[in-house]
Homo-oligomer: A and B are copies of this chain.
Amino acid sequence: MDDSLTSETGTNRARWKQDPEGVRADILAVALEEFSRNGLSGARMDDIAAKTRTSKRMIYYYFGDKEGLYRKALEAAYKKVRKGEEELDLEHLPPKAALERLVGFTFDHHRKNPDFIRLVMIENIHHGRFLEQSDAIKKLNEAAISQIRNIYDKGVRDGVFRAGLTPLRIHWLISAISFFNVSNARTFSLLFGNDLQTEAGQACLSADACQTVLKFVSKEG
């Protein structure tokens, strides 16, 4: 989209300008898409390079090898997604409303990031071999739990949530519903029809998700 090659200024042979960070970011963006679409072994380095504004040589120059590129793409994906979650402000809401909003947001957020979901699926297929190596990612996720802990503890104190649960189990439930909705959309549609993947169907599932979690946590239905 931007130039450095399209600007045919002086000589016939276009002059190129150095832009290390731009090149890195460009490669990473393409890699994310390709790995997400085709998996680690399914993605082709030549294809990635072709879709880049630079060359294959540069990928190896900056990322070492295929797995190095995949690792960085995975990290980038996690960072990007977790960043999108920061905008949520739940502290001032009463527990039930806060939890409801969190579920609705998570459901939507997963939906809006199918590339990320697919990378996580791929990572699970690889037994988390690369996620395992990235300490950076692990730290990003502690916030999610403490966020729920705040809401849940307040809810228990207020007498609207039942005691005996843990933030982790609540997070697990929210994740399961939101993740599955994206990860298995295709096979589920093929086996049981496409109704739940329409806009109306998704709205229905989103509402179901909120109700499910709220009823699970609430003291009385």
Contacts and interface: CB of A to CB of B under 8 A. Distances in A.
19 contacts: A120-B184, A120-B187, A121-B125, A121-B183, A124-B183, A128-B187, A131-B187, A138-B191, A145-B192, A168-B192, A168-B193, A168-B195, A169-B205, A172-B205, A173-B177, A176-B181, A179-B184, A211-B216, A215-B215
B123 A187 contact: yes
Contacts of A109: none
- Contact residues of A: prevailing secondary structure: helix
A150 to B, nearest CB: 16
Contact of A176 (B124, B137, B138, B176): B176
A84 interface: no
Nearest to A176: B180
Kindly report how many copies of this chain are found in the complex they form together. 2
Contacts of A189: 128
Contacts of A141: 191-192
A132 B190 contact: yes
A156 interface: no
B127 A186 contact: yes
A187 B129 CA distance: 9
